[in-house]
């Protein structure tokens, strides 16, 4: 069972002695929390070479690799005994240095070519690593550094270090073997790395060898290093030799035993209060998530947030907002059945004035009028991801309702106000379109020809209440003039065009009546007999055959011409007409004169 000491005294001589240590605080995120730090293995992962703008990438890299680690043994079986925290360390420059003699401005000074080995990636500013851990999460058991550089590299030592190379997960787990349990590489790393460790030895005697209890189990033996046969390893295919393999039984036992030793049950002691937060510098109105990091399983929490809302709370991991500019103190008092502890950080939360307006992101929308000639515009149709560094209070449009008068491009104003009153606005072009065709309604109509045998059809004759959402510009017909040849039912198309160029059509039945009448005097004076007839007719005029008569046509009831007579007697008042060739039925005799038209019905009945 480990004992947690919350101390800010720093170690000397990890790899580089130092006379001064930075007491830098950084935001903390809890990735996995399974219990009180004194009962868990506490793995803390820090970033190097991640700029302020790359902190989201850091968190993505952390979560991806931790998730992968818990998918492999022994971490998978022991996951419930492990807490994982991330410290968001900010570097001024991204990546790692090529070599320690040519440093870059990353925070921990991580560099390739450490000790002259290209792939050996390790921090050169160990004092900063120790300071960050001591000031932010001093109860850590494993310190891990992920370096934001895609080149292959990593190292063990006091802190497991690995790059963001595609093999990052395997590198991390391999390096944890070094850092957490002092396992050696099972490939030959060089004479300078040869030493007696749990998986490396000069003793090849099966009776005395340090891993003798595992011999002949799971491939464990005593295998010499080809490069230096005086040294031996327990396995030929272990993760400490090849990435992508499982740990051999010897290495697996070392890792499992270390986790078990650190998490052995022990008597409850008085708590040691401690906390962290996901943000330390914020703008007015922003929220901060606080994390209780107290050991010894507290069961009550009493927070005091100077300048915060809420100002006090008994929630274990509260979220608090700070509305006003300033530096604020945070105090946590925790207790359990044994005792009480208080931890206070002065000027822990720094709140700066927010003077930044929202960042607008918009589109120029196209909206469609409905059947009532109206359209409504919403903020969602304009906004494409407007953001603010604190939070948005409102988004408004200078105009949201549109009608037929707005068809075309309309310039409106999109205004956004953040929670601190900062405002930004822009002009948006809204295109209003009318794509709805008129609704065309028709009715049947009977057209009577005039005395000249001609009829004119007007749109209003067959229109039955056609309408459009924005107004009708014109009505037109597929045919407007009719004659005797159109006798009977005709299909006519009515086309309606609106003011925006949309058109619609519908058909109507137009019946043409070709039975025309002369005036009453002429009708009574001209006679046709016998009617019905058996084959001959006598057309009799009152005094003499009309000298202005142009033609006599015999038509069927559909108006089709059967016979036309254009030569008439010059004397007398009777015109004989032979209709003996016609079958029984109803016929029409059409007289066309310079003065009149007359139609007389007759019947053939033989």
Assign residue 453 the CATH number of its domain: 2.60.40
Do residues 162 and 154 lie in contact, with contact meaning Cβ atoms separated by under 8 Å? Answer: yes
pLDDT 10s digits, 417-447:
999 999 999 999 999 999 999 999 999 998 9
Q: Is residue 301 part of a domain?
A: yes
pLDDT of residue 59: 97
Q: Is residue 59 part of a domain?
A: yes
Q: What is the mean pLDDT of residues 189-206?
A: 94
Mean pLDDT, the chain, integer:
92
| Count of alpha carbons within 13 angstroms of residue 371, beta-carbon side | 3
pLDDT of residue 525: 82
pLDDT of residue 450: 78
Output the 3-class SS for 517-568: CCCHHHHHHCEEECCCECCEEEEECCCCCCCCEEEEEEECCCCCEEEEECCC
Spatial CA neighbour of 534 closest among 483, 488, 583: 583
Using the 3D structure, point to which of 133, 149, 181 is the last residue of a domain. Answer: 181
pLDDT of residue 12: 29
Residues 187/191/197/203 CA torsion (nearest 10 deg): 90
Q: Is residue 239 part of a domain?
A: no
User: Residue 53 is part of a domain; what is its CATH number?
Assistant: 3.40.390.10
Residues 408 and 336 occupy one common structural domain: no
Lowest mean pLDDT among 388-402, 441-455, 473-487, 527-541: 441-455
> Is it the case that residue 586 has pLDDT exceeding 70?
yes
pLDDT 10s digits, 89-115:
999 999 999 999 999 999 999 999 999
Please report which confidence band the pLDDT of residue 557 belongs to, taking 50, 70 and 90 as the band edges. confident
Please report which confidence band the pLDDT of residue 517 belongs to, taking 50, 70 and 90 as the band edges. very low
Dig out the tokens for 493 from the structure.
């198309």
Dig out the tokens for 142 from the structure.
């494993």
193 φ/ψ angles, rounded to the nearest 5 degrees: -105, 0
Residues 334 and 391 occupy one common structural domain: no
Strands (E), 128-284: 142-147, 154-155, 160-163, 223-225, 228-233, 275-277, 281-283
| Count of alpha carbons within 13 angstroms of residue 75, beta-carbon side | 25
What range defines the domain where residue 580 resides?
520-604
Spatial CA neighbour of 368 closest among 428, 433, 429, 431: 433
Q: Is residue 238 part of a domain?
A: no
Q: What is the mean pLDDT of residues 208-230?
A: 96
Residues 554 and 503 occupy one common structural domain: no
How many CB atoms lie under 10 A from the CB of residue 347?
13
> Is it the case that residue 19 has pLDDT exceeding 50?
no
Question: CA-to-CA distance for 149 and 98, rounded, in angstroms?
Answer: 11
> Is it the case that residue 522 has pLDDT exceeding 70?
no
Residues 524 and 509 occupy one common structural domain: no
Residues 56 and 120 occupy one common structural domain: yes
* Number of domains present in the structure of the chain: 5
Lowest mean pLDDT among 148-152, 407-411, 445-449, 530-534: 445-449
Residues 38 and 94 occupy one common structural domain: yes
> Is it the case that residue 454 has pLDDT exceeding 70?
yes
Residues 316 and 175 occupy one common structural domain: no
Q: Is residue 45 part of a domain?
A: yes
pLDDT 10s digits, 559-570:
889 999 999 987
Please report which confidence band the pLDDT of residue 597 belongs to, taking 50, 70 and 90 as the band edges. confident
Residues 95 and 135 occupy one common structural domain: yes
Tell me the three state secondary structure of residue 38. Answer: helix
pLDDT 10s digits, 458-476:
999 999 999 999 999 999 9
Burial 365-392 (b: 16+ CB within 10 A, else e): bebebeeebebebeeebbbeebebbbbe
Residues 463 and 562 occupy one common structural domain: no
Residues 266/7/44/280 CA torsion (nearest 10 deg): 130
Do residues 489 and 510 lie in contact, with contact meaning Cβ atoms separated by under 8 Å? Answer: yes
Please report which confidence band the pLDDT of residue 202 belongs to, taking 50, 70 and 90 as the band edges. very high
Residues 461 and 551 occupy one common structural domain: no
User: Residue 534 is part of a domain; what is its CATH number?
Assistant: 2.60.40.3080
Using the 3D structure, point to which of 433, 465, 492 is the last residue of a domain. Answer: 433
CA distances for 85 relative to 258, 263, 399, angstroms: 19, 17, 49
Question: CA-to-CA distance for 104 and 237, rounded, in angstroms?
Answer: 38
Percentage of the chain with pLDDT > 90? 84
Q: Is residue 488 part of a domain?
A: yes
pLDDT of residue 598: 85
pLDDT 10s digits, 241-276:
999 999 999 999 999 999 999 999 999 999 999 999
Q: Are strands 423-433 and 401-403 parallel, antiparallel or unpaired?
A: unpaired
Is the alpha carbon torsion for 190, 196, 200, 204 positive or negative? Answer: positive
Q: Is residue 598 part of a domain?
A: yes
Q: What is the mean pLDDT of residues 267-291?
A: 94
Residues 30 and 111 occupy one common structural domain: yes
Q: Is residue 31 part of a domain?
A: yes
Residues 486 and 561 occupy one common structural domain: no
Question: CA-to-CA distance for 296 and 340, rounded, in angstroms?
Answer: 11
pLDDT of residue 564: 93
Using the 3D structure, point to which of 129, 149, 181 is the last residue of a domain. Answer: 181
Q: What is the mean pLDDT of residues 13-30?
A: 59
Do residues 602 and 554 lie in contact, with contact meaning Cβ atoms separated by under 8 Å? Answer: no
pLDDT of residue 402: 98
Lowest mean pLDDT among 173-177, 365-369, 587-591: 587-591
Please report which confidence band the pLDDT of residue 451 belongs to, taking 50, 70 and 90 as the band edges. low
């Amino acid at each position: 069972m480990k004992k947690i000491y919350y101390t800010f005294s720093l170690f000397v001589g990890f790899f580089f002695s130092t006379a001064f240590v930075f007491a830098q605080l950084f935001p903390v995120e809890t990735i996995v929390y399974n219990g009180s730090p004194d009962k868990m293995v506490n793995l803390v992962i820090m970033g190097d070479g991640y700029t302020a703008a790359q902190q989201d990438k850091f968190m993505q890299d952390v979560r991806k690799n931790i998730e992968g680690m818990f998918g492999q043994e022994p971490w998978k079986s022991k996951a419930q005994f492990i807490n994982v925290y991330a410290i968001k360390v900010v570097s001024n420059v991204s990546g790692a240095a090529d070599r320690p003699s040519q440093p870059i401005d990353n925070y921990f000074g991580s560099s390739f070519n450490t000790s002259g080995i290209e792939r050996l990636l390790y921090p050169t500013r160990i004092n900063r690593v120790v300071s960050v851990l001591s000031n932010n999460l001093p109860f850590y058991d494993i310190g891990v550094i992920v370096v934001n550089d895609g080149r292959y590299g990593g190292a063990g030592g006091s802190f497991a270090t690995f790059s963001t190379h595609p093999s990052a997960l395997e590198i991390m787990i391999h390096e944890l073997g070094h850092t957490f349990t002092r396992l050696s590489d099972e490939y030959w790393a060089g004479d300078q790395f040869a030493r007696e460790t749990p998986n490396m030895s000069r003793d090849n005697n099966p009776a005395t060898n340090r891993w003798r209890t595992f011999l002949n189990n799971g491939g464990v033996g005593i295998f010499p290093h080809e490069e230096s046969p005086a040294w031996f390893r327990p396995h030929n295919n272990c993760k400490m030799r090849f990435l992508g393999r499982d740990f051999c039984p010897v290495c697996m036992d070392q890792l499992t035993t270390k986790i078990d030793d650190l998490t052995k049950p022990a008597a409850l002691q008085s708590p040691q209060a401690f906390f962290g937060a996901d943000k330390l510098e914020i703008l007015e109105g922003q929220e901060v998530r606080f994390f209780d990091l107290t050991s010894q399983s507290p069961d009550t929490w009493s927070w005091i947030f100077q300048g915060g809302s809420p100002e006090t709370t008994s929630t274990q991991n509260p979220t608090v907002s700070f509305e006003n500019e300033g530096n604020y103190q945070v105090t946590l008092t925790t207790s359990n059945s044994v005792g009480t502890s208080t931890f206070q950080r002065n000027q822990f939360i720094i709140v700066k004035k927010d003077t930044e307006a929202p960042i607008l992101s918009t589109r120029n929308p196209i909206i469609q009028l409905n059947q009532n000639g109206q359209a409504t515009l919403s903020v969602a149709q304009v906004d494409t991801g407007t953001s603010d560094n604190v939070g948005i209070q409102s988004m408004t449009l200078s105009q949201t309702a549109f009608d037929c008068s707005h068809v075309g491009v309309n310039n409106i104003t999109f205004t956004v106000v953040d929670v601190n009153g900062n405002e930004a606005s822009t002009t948006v072009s809204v295109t209003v379109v009318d794509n709805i065709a008129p609704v065309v309604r028709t009715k049947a109509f009977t057209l009577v020809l005039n005395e000249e045998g001609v009829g004119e059809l007007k749109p209003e004759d067959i229109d039955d209440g056609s309408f459009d959402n924005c107004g009708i510009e014109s009505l037109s017909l597929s045919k407007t003039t009719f004659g005797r040849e159109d006798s009977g039912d005709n299909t006519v198309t009515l086309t309606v065009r609106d003011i925006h160029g949309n058109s619609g059509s519908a058909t109507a039945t137009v019946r043409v009546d070709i039975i025309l009448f002369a005036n009453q005097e002429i009708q009574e004076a001209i006679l046709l007999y016998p009617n019905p007839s058996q084959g001959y007719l006598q057309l009799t005029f009152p005094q003499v055959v009309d000298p202005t008569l142009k033609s006599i046509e015999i038509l069927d009831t559909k108006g089709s011409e059967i016979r036309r007579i254009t030569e008439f007697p010059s004397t007398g008042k009777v015109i004989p007409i032979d209709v003996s060739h016609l079958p029984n039925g109803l016929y029409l005799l059409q007289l066309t004169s310079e003065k009149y038209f007359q139609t007389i019905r007759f019947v053939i009945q033989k």
